[in-house]
Amino acid sequence: MTDTHVEQPIEPYQSPPEGPGKALRSTREAKRLTPESVSQQLRLDLAHIHALEMDEYEKLPAPIFVTGYLRAYARLLELDAEPLIAAYHGLGMDKTPDLVQVARRGSVGGGAPVRWISYAMAAGLVVMLYLAWQARAPEVPELVSGPAQDMAPSVSGMESPMVVREPDVAFSDAEPESDRSGPAESPSAPVVTKAEVRAPIPPPAPPATPTTLSRASLSLIADRSSWVEVKDSTGRRLFYDLMNPGQSRTLEGVPPFEVLLGYAPGVTVEYNGQLFDHARYIRNEVARFKVGSADAGGR
Amino acid sequence: MFLFKRLRGMFSNDLSIDLGTANTLIYVRGKGIVLNEPSVVAIRQDKGPGGPKSIAAVGAEAKAMIGRTPGNITAIRPLKDGVIADFTVTEKMLQYFIHKVHETRFLHPSPRVLICVPCGSTQVERRAIKESAAGAGAREVYLIEEPMAAAIGAGMPVSEARGSMVLDIGGGTTEVAIISLNGIVYSASVRIGGDAFDEAIINYVRRNYGTLIGESTAERIKHEIGSAYPAKEVREIEVKGRNLSEGVPRSFKLNSNEILEALQDPLSSIVGAVKTALEQTPPDLGSDIAERGMVLTGGGALLRDFDRLLIEETGLPVVVAEDPLTCVARGGGRALEMIEQGGSDVFSTD
């Protein structure tokens, strides 16, 4: 490493530090070219040539064009273009134009807000379904009686116009309509009564079964996470989910309960408030057993 | 699966890929151009035809093999005329390049990728490019039209309500477009580019010298003495090729005027495309272009005096972009940055 003084590169055209314009102009004058002839040869506006020579870059288009013009001008004057372009860049007026969005899209879809709204709606739907399932679970028998009652009037409604049509012989005029409506009521009336007679039979039957049997409670406390399935004697699924550590659930239903524990050592079972030992049913950490029946003890 | 891809994406860089017929360039956000390699893949097939195929080399290494391979290796260019000609090989090549720019990562990269496509490409061709990028591990694929990327990369004010004309001469295609307000007003694509120049030189030498030269020799001739406009000084080059009548390699000299003559056909096609574009341009945009001029990008812009030819033929100012080879990839990179700013109107996802 020899400490020699760094020689400054010689400015070949004595271009002033402020820009390449002066060098272009002096060289052009030395070559006895008029701005008009330069403009014609480079196919540039005369105003652009003047702006280049006066270093008035704000009158010229984007920097890409300015460097291009400088290069073409330098070639015409048989100059080296690079020092000229470096001088131009040295002015700090060569900012690349920003890439801006011309028009913002409104609600054309696919945008972030639309996506988030749909996510929220999907989450809401899941929560509502879960709540509906929870609320519905103990009231299954009532649902059975519901449709049976609805059926009766709909059946009578269906039948009444058919009954009316059958005796109808003169169907040409609109006038007899009032006459027809008179007799129409008489055949429809017995049909409704018939349906009413039939209807009361099925509804009391389904609710009768659960009320006759006594209900019992089953508590599950998870120390470790475990898959748990519980069905009661009516075949209704009381629980069908993963239990996390620390979670506990109390289920009510008609005994005996059919229980499946995915990780049995991690779950404590209580039947009607009493601890139920399921250790003897555990096979490979899985236990499958009935609680509340005669063999399992405790009714 | 989606979540996993997203997680991997956090460890990957967003890429802008100029998947060109001749060269593939990759621009990484915040780093610049990190890869510039020829789009060539060398495939090894052992145990005769029908045997298992494997990749022997990709990129520069594979390009050196073109025309010099033994029977069990074929060096191929999977893209032709700017679009995919061999789907599987393109996918492998992209996979290799994407891995190469993520060299130091131990996780499988899953970047967001923006790929430049010729504006004349069909829906089928675009889909092929998208699928092969997805197959190569891209998480999301965006497409941008090449002249748009070229104009952005060159630093043209594409967002202004003024006409900007760009001529991008690539390896397989030449794209001409007039852009205003981030959109393409007119675009045309001719399937003539640097490769067509090489081919024209090969044909010229065979016709006039009765000698066969290879693709790489033709490319060297083009780089050294090729020009688009008659110059004052005549340059010469000595090349070697196989004499067709004698059947042995012979050395001979070519000069720049001969190459200019050889290139007349492809050059006039490109000039024709430019003239057609100017004819089709709405008059207001035309006057903007006449005032400021058109910009040349792509490897073809490096052909000596191409701008002079266009100045003479069109009577408009012509400007060659700085570093024209990387304009498209750089422009893609800048467009990619706009994704972060809430989407953009310069590229599409279909």
User: pTM for this structure?
Assistant: 0.64
pLDDT at A254: 85
* Chain B residues contacting A via beta carbons under 8 Å: 152, 154-160, 181-183, 291-293, 295, 307, 311, 315-322, 334-335, 337-338, 341-346
Most confident of A55-59, A108-112, A225-229, B267-271: B267-271
Cross-chain residue pair B320–A71, CB shorter than 8 Å: yes
Provide mean pLDDT across the span A101-114: 50
Residue A246: strand, helix, or coil: coil
Provide mean pLDDT across the span B158-183: 92
Q: Which amino acid is at B10?
A: M
Confidence class for position B287, pLDDT limits 50, 70, 90: very high
pLDDT at A170: 44
* Residue A236 scores a pLDDT above 80: yes
Assess contact for B15 and B112: CB atoms under 8 A: yes
Helix (H) / strand (E) element for A217: namely strand A216-222
Assess contact for B171 and B180: CB atoms under 8 A: no
* Residue A100 scores a pLDDT above 50: yes
Provide mean pLDDT across the span B180-192: 91
Domains in chain A: boundaries: 21-90, 213-291
Provide mean pLDDT across the span B202-210: 95
Strand partners, A216: A253
Nearest to A44 among B152, B181, B317 (CB): B317
The region of weakest confidence among A27-41, A66-80, A108-122 is: A108-122
Cross-chain residue pair A69–B317, CB shorter than 8 Å: yes
- pLDDT higher for A32 or A8? A32
Confidence class for position B224, pLDDT limits 50, 70, 90: very high
Assess contact for A180 and A168: CB atoms under 8 A: yes
pLDDT at A278: 87
Cross-chain residue pair B338–A103, CB shorter than 8 Å: no
Mean pLDDT of chain B: 88
At A141-179, the pLDDT tens digits run 444 444 444 444 444 444 444 444 444 444 444 444 444
* Residue A12 scores a pLDDT above 70: no
Provide mean pLDDT across the span B286-291: 93
Chain A environment of B291 (Cβ under 8 Å): 45, 61
Token couple for B240 = 């070697």
* Residue B278 scores a pLDDT above 90: yes
* Residue A217 scores a pLDDT above 50: yes
Of chain B, the percentage scoring pLDDT greater than 90 comes to: 58
Cross-chain residue pair B342–A112, CB shorter than 8 Å: yes
Chain B environment of A102 (Cβ under 8 Å): 159, 181-183, 345
Mean pLDDT of chain A: 71
**Domain A213-291, architecture per CATH:** Sandwich (2.60)
Of chain A, the percentage scoring pLDDT greater than 90 comes to: 13
pLDDT at B6: 57
Chain A environment of B293 (Cβ under 8 Å): 43-44, 65, 68
Nearest chain A CA: its distance from B23 CA (Å): 24
pLDDT at B198: 95
Give chain B's length: 350
Rounded-to-integer distance, Cα B16 and Cα B28, Å: 6
Nearest chain B CA: its distance from A20 CA (Å): 18
pLDDT at B2: 54
Residue A237: how many other CB atoms lie within 10 Å: 12
Q: How far is CA A63 from CA A57, A77, A95, B230, in A?
A: 9, 21, 7, 29
* Residue B184 scores a pLDDT above 60: yes
Residue A92: how many other CB atoms lie within 10 Å: 7
Residue A265: how many other CB atoms lie within 10 Å: 14
Token couple for B198 = 């090489």
pLDDT at B119: 85
Rounded-to-integer distance, Cα B31 and Cα B29, Å: 5
Rounded-to-integer distance, Cα B338 and Cα B106, Å: 28
* Residue A214 scores a pLDDT above 60: yes
Chain A environment of B311 (Cβ under 8 Å): 42-43
DSSP category for residue A11: -
Chain A environment of B344 (Cβ under 8 Å): 101
Provide mean pLDDT across the span B291-303: 93
Rounded-to-integer distance, Cα B94 and Cα B86, Å: 12
pLDDT at A295: 52
Token couple for B242 = 């196989």
Chain A environment of B310 (Cβ under 8 Å): none
Rounded-to-integer distance, Cα A267 and Cα A70, Å: 84
What does CATH list as the number for A21-90? 1.10.260.40
Nearest to B155 among A97, A100, A112 (CB): A97
Query: What are the backbone angles phi and psi of residue B176, rounded to the nearest 5°?
Result: -125, 135
C-alpha A116: how far from its chain's center? 6
ipTM, 2 decimals? 0.83
Assess contact for B114 and B335: CB atoms under 8 A: yes
Provide mean pLDDT across the span A44-67: 90
Provide mean pLDDT across the span B201-219: 94
Cross-chain residue pair B316–A43, CB shorter than 8 Å: yes
Of chain B, the percentage scoring pLDDT greater than 70 comes to: 92
pLDDT at A138: 58
